[in-house]
C-alpha cells in the first residue's frame, strides 16, 4: 500500500514528462549534424560530464540547428551549480544577480552555462498580474524542461551521445513548424508577458504557426506588455528586428495587437503603401545579412523604422521656411519623443540614428571642401548605405547616390580626389561615370554592425 502511494507520488512528480519519461532521439530523428554544433559548447558539456555532471546544449542553438538555421548564441544547461562550474574552466565568470549563471569564454564566443531551474509555482512569487518576480530555484532536468517557454525551446542535446532529450514533443512541433507553449498559455503569459513577443518572433523566424491554445490569449493579454521593464522590451524588439524575417515579424506583431507597446508608428507604416515598401526594401537587405550570419546595427534598423514618419514631419517643417538641417533636427526630436512615450530608444543607438539621418540633408548640396569632413564622420558609411535605400525607393537620384557609394568605396585619397574633381566638373567625365555605373558595386554593408 505504502509502496503504491510512493509510486503514485513519484509518477505525479514527473507528470510533465509522461509515464515513460522523455523521448530520446538519435541523429536520424533530430537531424542535427554534430560538426555544426559549436565546438565550444561541446567542450563545455564534455568537461562537465567528465566531472560527473549532466550537461546539454539547449535552447536556441538546438532549435535553430534542427530547423536548418544558423544558430546565434549558445547555451548549456547542467546540474552543476555556478560555483561548481566556474573552477572547471580557465576563463569563466559568474554573472547575474537574480539567477546566477556562468559565462564560459572562448575568444569571442561565450557559452552561457546555467544550472537546471525549477518553475516556481507558489503565488507569493508573482505580482498582481501573475508576473513572476522570483525565478531562482535550482531543479532537475525535467523541472528545467517544464519552466522553458515553448516546446521547441525545451530540447536538450547531448553532444557526446548525439541524443536529443525531448520532454514535450518539441522535435515534432519544430518539424511541423508549430509554436506551442509549455503548460497553460494564459498562466505562462501572465508570468512573463515577453513570451507573447517571443511566440510571434519564433513563428515569423521559423515560418511556423502559433498553435490555437498558445495563440488564443495573446490579444486579450497584450496589455500586460506595458508592465515589462523597458530594457527587456528593448532587447526583445532588437531581436524581433534582427531575426531574419523582420517585416513578417512586424506584421504579426501588429496582427496580434502587440505593436502599440513597442512601436507607435508601426500601424501607419504598415498600412501606408509607400512607407511599407520602404520597410520591405530596407529589411530585405538586413534580413539577408542576418541569414549570412553578419551583424546588423540597431541604430541603422531604427533609422529605417522611423525614417518615413520623420521625413514627413521634416518636409512639413521645411515648407514653413526652416532650413533643411534645422527642420530635420526638429522633426527627429519630435518623432523620437513620440517613440519614447511608448519605448525610448537607448541613447547610444539614438545618437547614431540621428547622425545617419542628419547626414542625409547634406548629400545633395554639400560643397567639395565639406565632403572631406563628411568622409571623416563615423556614421558616413552607414549614412551612404541609407542613401542607397532612399535611392532604391526613388526618394533621391540614383546617380547621385551611386557617386557617394563610389566615394565611400574608394580606397585611397587619390581615388577620392578624382571622384570629387569629377563631381565638380561632370561634363568632361560623363563617359567615365557611365562606365563606372555599369560596374557591379564593390561592397555594400547596408546595415553594417559597426
Query: How many alpha carbons fall within 13 Å on the CB side of residue 43?
Result: 13
If one asks whether residue 73 binds ligand ATP (CB under 6 A), the answer comes out as yes
Residue from 38, 153, 214, 248 touching ligand ATP (CB under 6 A): that is 153
Q: Which of 64, 143, 144, 149 is catalytic?
A: 149
Question: Given the complex with ligand ATP, which of 60 and 130 has the nearer CB atom?
Answer: 60
**Shortest distance (Å) from residue 61 CB to Mg ion:** 7
Contact 361, 325 (CB under 8 A): yes
Beta bridge partners of 137: 118
Strands (E), 47-154: 55-58, 74-78, 92-95, 101-106, 109-115, 117-118, 137-138
If one asks whether residue 125 binds ligand ATP (CB under 6 A), the answer comes out as no
Question: Given the complex with Mg ion, which of 63 and 285 has the nearer CB atom?
Answer: 63
Alpha-carbon distances, residue 145 vs 160, 183, 251, 254 (angstroms): 20, 11, 30, 30
If one asks whether residue 75 binds ligand ATP (CB under 6 A), the answer comes out as yes
Query: Of these partners, ligand ATP, Mg ion, none, which one is at the site of residue 149 (CB under 5 to 8 Å by kind)?
Result: ligand ATP
Residue from 30, 117, 148, 254 touching ligand ATP (CB under 6 A): that is 148
> Quick count: other Cβ atoms within 10 Å of Cβ 88?
17
Question: Given the complex with Mg ion, which of 64 and 352 has the nearer CB atom?
Answer: 64
Question: Given the complex with ligand ATP, which of 154 and 382 has the nearer CB atom?
Answer: 154
Query: Of these partners, ligand ATP, Mg ion, none, which one is at the site of residue 239 (CB under 5 to 8 Å by kind)?
Result: ligand ATP
Question: Given the complex with ligand ATP, which of 192 and 280 has the nearer CB atom?
Answer: 192
Active site residue 149: yes
**Shortest distance (Å) from residue 74 CB to ligand ATP:** 9
Residue nearest Mg ion by beta-carbon distance = 60
If one asks whether residue 142 binds ligand ATP (CB under 6 A), the answer comes out as no
**Shortest distance (Å) from residue 207 CB to ligand ATP:** 15
If one asks whether residue 173 binds ligand ATP (CB under 6 A), the answer comes out as no
Question: Given the complex with ligand ATP, which of 154 and 185 has the nearer CB atom?
Answer: 154
If one asks whether residue 276 binds ligand ATP (CB under 6 A), the answer comes out as no
Query: Of these partners, ligand ATP, Mg ion, none, which one is at the site of residue 125 (CB under 5 to 8 Å by kind)?
Result: none
> Quick count: other Cβ atoms within 10 Å of Cβ 330?
14
**Shortest distance (Å) from residue 155 CB to ligand ATP:** 9
Contact 78, 104 (CB under 8 A): no
Q: Segment contacting ligand ATP (CB under 6 A): 72-80, 167-175, 225-233, 417-425?
A: 72-80
Question: Given the complex with ligand ATP, which of 74 and 363 has the nearer CB atom?
Answer: 74
As given in the structure block, the three cell numbers for residue 346 are 537607448
Contact 155, 58 (CB under 8 A): yes
- Under the rule (CB under 5 A), what is the footprint of Mg ion? 60, 73
Active site residue 450: no
Mind giving me the DSSP string for 280-306?
HHHHHHHHHHHHTT----HHHHHHHHH
Q: Which of 73, 158, 192, 393 is catalytic?
A: 73
**Shortest distance (Å) from residue 72 CB to ligand ATP:** 5
If one asks whether residue 287 binds ligand ATP (CB under 6 A), the answer comes out as no
Distance CA 378, CA 363 (A): 15
Residue nearest ligand ATP by beta-carbon distance = 60
Active site residue 333: no
Strands (E), 62-100: 74-78, 92-95
Which parts of 192-211 interact with ligand ATP (CB under 6 A)?
192, 194-195
Alpha-carbon distances, residue 98 vs 118, 135, 232 (angstroms): 14, 8, 14
Contact 82, 102 (CB under 8 A): yes
Query: Of these partners, Mg ion, ligand ATP, none, which one is at the site of residue 130 (CB under 5 to 8 Å by kind)?
Result: none
Return the closest-CA partner of residue 263 out of 275, 273, 274, 203.
275
Question: Given the complex with ligand ATP, which of 154 and 179 has the nearer CB atom?
Answer: 154
If one asks whether residue 166 binds ligand ATP (CB under 6 A), the answer comes out as no
- What region does 63 belong to: left with phi over 0, alpha with psi -120 to 50, or beta? alpha
Report the DSSP pairing between strands 137-138 and 92-95.
unpaired
Residue 247 CB contacts under 8 Å (≥ 6 apart), including other chains: 279, 280, 283, 284
Distance CA 226, CA 422 (A): 54
**Shortest distance (Å) from residue 79 CB to ligand ATP:** 16
As given in the structure block, the three cell numbers for residue 284 are 530585405
Residues at the site binding ligand ATP, with contacts judged by CB under 6 A: 59-60, 72-73, 75, 148-149, 153-154, 192, 194-195, 239
- Catalytic positions, please? 73, 75, 149
Amino acid at each position: 500500500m505504502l509502496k503504491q502511494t510512493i509510486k503514485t507520488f513519484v509518477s505525479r512528480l514527473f507528470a510533465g514528462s509522461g509515464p515513460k519519461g522523455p523521448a530520446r532521439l538519435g541523429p536520424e530523428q533530430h537531424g542535427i549534424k554534430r560538426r555544426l554544433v559549436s565546438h565550444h559548447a561541446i567542450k563545455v558539456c564534455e568537461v562537465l560530464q567528465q566531472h560527473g555532471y549532466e550537461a546539454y546544449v539547449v535552447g536556441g542553438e538546438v532549435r535553430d540547428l534542427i530547423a536548418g538555421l544558423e544558430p546565434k548564441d549558445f547555451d548549456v544547461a547542467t546540474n552543476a551549480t555556478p560555483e561548481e562550474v566556474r573552477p572547471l574552466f580557465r576563463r569563466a565568470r559568474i554573472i547575474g544577480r537574480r539567477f546566477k549563471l556562468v559565462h564560459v569564454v572562448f575568444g569571442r564566443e561565450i557559452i552561457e552555462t546555467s544550472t537546471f531551474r525549477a518553475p516556481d509555482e507558489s503565488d507569493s512569487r508573482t505580482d498582481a498580474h501573475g508576473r513572476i518576480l522570483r525565478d531562482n530555484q535550482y531543479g532537475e532536468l525535467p523541472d528545467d524542461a517544464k519552466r522553458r517557454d515553448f516546446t521547441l525551446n525545451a530540447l536538450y542535446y547531448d553532444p557526446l551521445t548525439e541524443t536529443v532529450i525531448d520532454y514535450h514533443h518539441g522535435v515534432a512541433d519544430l518539424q511541423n513548424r508549430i509554436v506551442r507553449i509549455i503548460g497553460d498559455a494564459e498562466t505562462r503569459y501572465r508570468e512573463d508577458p515577453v513570451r507573447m513577443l517571443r511566440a510571434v518572433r519564433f513563428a515569423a523566424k521559423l515560418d511556423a504557426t502559433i498553435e490555437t491554445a498558445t495563440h488564443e490569449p495573446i490579444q486579450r493579454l497584450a496589455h500586460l506588455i506595458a508592465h515589462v521593464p523597458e530594457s527587456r522590451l528593448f532587447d526583445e524588439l532588437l531581436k524581433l528586428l534582427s531575426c531574419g524575417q523582420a517585416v513578417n515579424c512586424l506584421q504579426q506583431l501588429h496582427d496580434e495587437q502587440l505593436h502599440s507597446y513597442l512601436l507607435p508608428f508601426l500601424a501607419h507604416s504598415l498600412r501606408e503603401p509607400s512607407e511599407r515598401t520602404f520597410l520591405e526594401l530596407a529589411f530585405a537587405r538586413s534580413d539577408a545579412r542576418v541569414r549570412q550570419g553578419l551583424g546588423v546595427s540597431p541604430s541603422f534598423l531604427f533609422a529605417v523604422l522611423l525614417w518615413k514618419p520623420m521625413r514627413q514631419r521634416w518636409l512639413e517643417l521645411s515648407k514653413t521656411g526652416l532650413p533643411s538641417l534645422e527642420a530635420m533636427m526638429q522633426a527627429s526630436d519630435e518623432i523620437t519623443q513620440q517613440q519614447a512615450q511608448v519605448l525610448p530608444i537607448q541613447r547610444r543607438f539614438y545618437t547614431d540614428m540621428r547622425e545617419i539621418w542628419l547626414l542625409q540633408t547634406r548629400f545633395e548640396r554639400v560643397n567639395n571642401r565639406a565632403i572631406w569632413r563628411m568622409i571623416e564622420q563615423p556614421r558616413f558609411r552607414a549614412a551612404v548605405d541609407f542613401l542607397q535605400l532612399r535611392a532604391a525607393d526613388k526618394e533621391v537620384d540614383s546617380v547621385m547616390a551611386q557617386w557617394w557609394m563610389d566615394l565611400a568605396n574608394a580606397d585611397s585619397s587619390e581615388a577620392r580626389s578624382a571622384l570629387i574633381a569629377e563631381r565638380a566638373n561632370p561634363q568632361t567625365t560623363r563617359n567615365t561615370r557611365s562606365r563606372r555605373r555599369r560596374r557591379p558595386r564593390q561592397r555594400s554593408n547596408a546595415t553594417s554592425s559597426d
